[in-house]
Amino acid sequence: MNSENYDFVIVGAGSAGCVLGNRLSASGRYSVLLLEAGPADRYLWIHIPIGYAKTMFHPVYNWGFYTDPDPNMHDRRVYWPRGRGLGGSSSINGLIYVRGQAQDYERWADAGNAGWGWHDVLPYFIKCEHNTRGASEYHGSSGPLWVSDIGEKHELMEAIIRAAAERGVPFNDDFNGTIQEGVGYYQLTTRNGWRCSTATAYLRPARRRANLRIETGAHAIGIVFDGRRAAGIRYIQRGREREARATHEVILSAGSLQTPQLLQISGVGNAKQLQVLGIPVTHHLPGVGENLQDHLQLRLMYKVSKPITINDDLQSPWRKMRMGIKWILFRRGPLAIGINQGGMFTRMLKESDSPDIQFHFATVSAEMAGAKPHPWSGCTFSVCQLRPLSRGTVFVRSRDPRAALGIQPNYLSHDTDRRCAVASIKYARHLAAAPALREYLAEEYRPGSAVRSDEELLDWARDYGATIFHPSGTCKMGCDPLAVVDARLRVHGLAGLRVVDCSIMPTLVSGNTNAPVIMIAEKASDMILQDHAAHPTPLVDLSPTI
């Protein structure tokens, strides 16, 4: 294989990129280069689920972005972690396996994206999955991505489930089955107590293929164009600039922040804004970096009256040792879980005909997700609105690929989102006050009893709201003027260039985003292989679509 000429060049070995690396190289027919800016995933804490806390602020395995000061959040800059290295964010995430609601995908299809309705995408969710519960109408048991039950019940989580029942929310044994609504335990992307990232699920079995080359420490700095056709990628590795040519396609899978960044520094974006920065315009595509959506988490924390939380486990050397032994011998216990044990999907807004908020329940509390736990027994009820209407942007400030990226989430800028935030904090308190939790919750630590009126609750949300790590939508799929890719994920108006990652979501799914991104990459792999089997290159219609 000529080291600098490939059929496909993929940028970013994250949730999406690892799937593509595997699937596009599987037949042996195509040569594939997978470029990853970060390192290999050799850090042990990536692979042990509780290591989530160790990678949350890690300078090597985490890009550690901050948003710009957000005027809607009292000008706060919000910390936005993103995975860096093989597996990308699937190597550092909270491991929760949730697909969203059937209606999310119907909305995508209704917006003009043929082939993305629920019945189109369900087979790909099933194809990905190795669910330890076995195969069913909704689940797969022979895919590479392991999905497992938590394996043991926690006394506090059981009380939360009873409290939810007291508030009229039924138990749900499977948030990815017939119905999402309800309360219960999450399933996690773990395999026998180890994290199952896309690097371990998809890349590890493929890495010895002669037609797949994986380059780590390879930071893409620009797309090479031959006219309006993407012909390759320029990247920096070990201080040297290199170029990899793609005879078939360049595929961007650098995530919701860095895919639009790479397009913009390559001259694909809003022409006026690029010109101001002195970036030569390759193609005017005003939607690049727009339509940013994220789930804002509001973390209510409680002091717990019994020493049964992870805070307590971590205070005691003996309990820490017991946790370690439990994981080594049985692959169970807090080390096998990550952070959140259970969740709940329910409705807040009158106008919603399906769950519009999600809870993440953790038997641990800390000032920030992944930070050092409090020295007292504590737990967290984190609640987020599932389909926010606020929209933000991602924008480059200079043509220098290493310059800080502008990120403006505009959280809570829409009235509906503010209404939902206030209602969901009140609802979390209503849940916490249920009889079943009386013997467990001693005191509300945050927001705290002084925060009462709607104005105070909203102010608290602006002061303390944080990301639940689901930025998406910045290169949205569609056919309107702000769409960046079409329903086959080809960049509008350019040839040989696709985007396959979380950025293509036209609207955020009602749940966590890892499983949906893996589904997107599975479906994209099929589309790419079909397109190349059916047509000689170039594949993409060069006539402008916008």
**Residues engaged in binding ligand FAD (CB under 6 A):** 11-17, 35-38, 81-84, 88-90, 92-96, 98, 219-220, 253-256, 258, 262, 469-470, 501-502, 512-515, 517
**Cis status, amide bond into 447, omega within 30 of 0:** yes
Q: What is the DSSP letter of 481?
A: T
**Residue with Cβ nearer ligand FAD (451 or 524):** 524
CB of 233 to ligand FAD, least distance (A): 8
Q: What ranges make up the beta strands (E) of 133-239?
A: 145-147, 182-185, 190-191, 194-195, 212-215, 218-226, 229-237
How far apart are CB 469 and ligand FAD at their closest, in Å?
A: 3
Q: Taking the complex as a whole, how short is the minimal distance between the CB of residue 388 and ligand FAD, in angstroms? A: 15
Contact 294, 467 (CB under 8 A): yes
Which residue blocks in 26-111 are alpha helix, DSSP H? Answer: 44-47, 52-55, 102-110
Q: What Rg value do the Cα atoms of the chain yield, rounded?
A: 23
Q: Residue 311 Cβ, how far from ligand FAD at the closest point, in Å?
A: 20
CA 9, chain centre distance (Å) = 22
For residue 88, the one-letter residue type is G
In whole angstroms, the minimum distance from the beta carbon of 531 to ligand FAD comes to 21
Strand, coil or helix: 374: coil
Sign, CA torsion 149/154/156/158 = positive
Q: CB neighbours (10 Å) of residue 192?
A: 10
- Options 374, 470, 492, 532, the catalytic residue: 470
Classify 292 as helix, strand or coil.
Answer: strand
Residue closer to ligand FAD (CB basis): 428 or 515: 515
Of 441 and 489, nearer to ligand FAD (C-beta) is 489
Minimal distance, residue 82 CB to ligand FAD, in Å: 5
Q: Are 5 and 188 in contact (CB under 8 A)?
A: no
Q: Select the residue whose beta carbon is closest to ligand FAD and give its number.
A: 14
Least Cβ distance, residue 513 to ligand FAD (angstroms): 3
The kind and range of the H/E element at 8 are strand 5-11
CB 467 within 8 A of CB 295: yes
CB 474, CB 290: distance < 8 Å: yes
Closer to ligand FAD by CB, 113 or 514: give it. 514
DSSP string covering 34-100: EE-SS--S--HHHHSGGGHHHHTT-TTTB--EEPPPBGGGTTBPPEE--B-STTGGGGTS--B----
The residue (of 233 and 423) whose beta carbon lies closer to ligand FAD is: 233
Cis peptide preceding 538, ω within 30 of 0: yes
Answer for the pair 471, 257: CB distance below 8 angstroms, yes or no.
yes
Pair of tokens at residue 57: 């602020």
CB 19 → ligand FAD: shortest distance, Å?
9
Residue 330 structure tokens: 């049985």
Least distance (Å) from ligand FAD to the CB of residue 288?
Answer: 15
Compare residues 84 and 248 and give the one whose CB is closer to ligand FAD: 84
Could you confirm whether 154 is annotated as catalytic?
A: no
Closest CA to 50 of 370, 301, 322: 370
- Considering beta carbons, is residue 81 or 342 the nearer one to ligand FAD? 81
Q: How far is CA 392 from CA 128, 256, 292, 301, in A?
A: 31, 12, 5, 28
> In the complex with ligand FAD, which residue's Cβ is closer, 13 or 366?
13
Decide: residue 322, CB within 10 A, 0-12 exposed, 13-18 middle, 19+ buried. Answer: middle
Q: Which two tokens stand for residue 463?
A: 């002061």
Instruction: Using the minimum distance from each CB to ligand FAD, give the nearer residue, 145 or 183.
Output: 145
- Which residues are annotated as catalytic? 470
